[in-house]
Amino acid sequence: MEGNRLSEVRQITVWVMLWMVSMTLFSLVGFDASGLLPGETVGQWVHFDKTSLWGTGCILLVFFFMTRNRLITLDSVISWTLVVWAGIEAVWGLRQLYGYAVSNHSLYVLTGSFFNPGPYSGYLAMILPVCLHQWLTKRGEILCSDRNDGRRWKKVMDKAGTMVAGGVMLLILCVLPAGMSRSA
């Protein structure tokens, strides 16, 4: 009983550390230093240094706590992190589109946290299949599961995952045509 509980705590610790590492490393995409001059990138490099050191330490802790029978895999954590950051970028783009946020380029209305709508739209277009995959996977798990199999929490998380992936997919589909990017 105690060993099972310790294994569960270990798996939760691994999941939290992987989530935090991937969120902070992917935050480099969304880092906006609007107070800096256009050619000045020292603030961004300082943030990059701190983030990479912190991420390296967390990855080492994850390998220390990792067990063979994991509840969550690294590819799942990375894909959900990409989905969350794409949702943040899509909301950021909608805010710029409706005038609630300032664009990073004087010629373009919609740039997200990027300096040009081309990479912004390309980023969102690359994440759209990831959202579709997560939505289809979670939807399939909901449809294939028994009603009374005793895993109620897993069903709730599958439904929440379906709603998040579907919502981000709809946000991306709303913002992507407004970017008018030829690359996406």
pLDDT tens digits, residue range 99-152? 888 887 788 888 888 888 888 899 899 999 999 999 998 888 777 776 666 667
Residue 130, pLDDT score: 94
Residue 100's SS3 state is coil
Cα gap 170→174, rounded to integer Å: 6
Q: What is the mean pLDDT of each run of 10 residues along the chain (184 residues)?
A: 69 74 68 57 66 72 62 76 89 90 82 84 92 89 69 76 92 89 72
Residue 28, pLDDT score: 63
Cα gap 72→14, rounded to integer Å: 9
pTM, rounded to two decimals = 0.70
Ordered alpha helix ranges (H), the chain: 2-30, 42-65, 74-97, 117-144, 152-175
Angle (CA) 18 48 39, round 5°: 150
Cα gap 35→160, rounded to integer Å: 37
Residue 129, pLDDT score: 94
**Domain residue extents for the chain:** 1-72, 73-184
Neighbours of 162 (CB within 10 A): 19
Cα gap 86→27, rounded to integer Å: 11
Cα gap 114→30, rounded to integer Å: 8
